[in-house]
Structure 1
């Protein structure tokens, strides 16, 4: 795992970001086997059942930061 940044709130992410299909930072698409896995994250909402989400990030941090800034 490369990042030390705190992950965004799951409420601020898209379904694609939650499922690891898109970068959690820049929302760029991540193909199968691409991206860095940031590990399973558990969410325990105040009401409702707990669930997991699976964020990933781009392997190229510089390109990701450029996309995130635009």
Structure 2
């Protein structure tokens, strides 16, 4: 995966640990099935992870809300302890995660709805 043209930055996709597109069947590559559990997706439920380039060509990873939330939650726990920006406490006392943590945080919140 080299680029993301969607709303989720490539750095965030890296911490979400997308599967290798070379190991996926056609339906998950085109976004018809969840990239993690291979469950069916609808326009109303799919979490769009952008449009990516891979050695295999363009692909459109999408996930079910449960998998997106689980992966995003795991990504936050793996990323935050090593990130100076996530560890910093702003003067106003409010949490201000870095850009890499902000998107997984939103995915976790969306999966809880």
TM-score range, shorter chain: 0.5 to 0.7
**Higher helix content, 1 or 2:** 2
CA distance in 1, matches of 2:67, 2:54: 26
Q: Which has the higher contact order (CA 8 A, sep 6+)?
A: 1
Give the total of aligned pairs: 59
* Structure with a larger share of its residues in strand: 1
**Where do 5+ consecutive residues of structure 1 fail to align?**
46-50, 66-70
Secondary structure of 1:52 counterpart? strand
Structure 2 equivalent of residue 42 of structure 1: 53
Question: Rg bigger for which structure?
Answer: 2
Coordinate RMSD, CA, aligned: 2.6
- Output the TM-score relative to the length of structure 2: 0.44
Listed as ranges, the gaps of 5+ residues in structure 2 are 1-7, 72-113
Moved over 6 A (4+): none
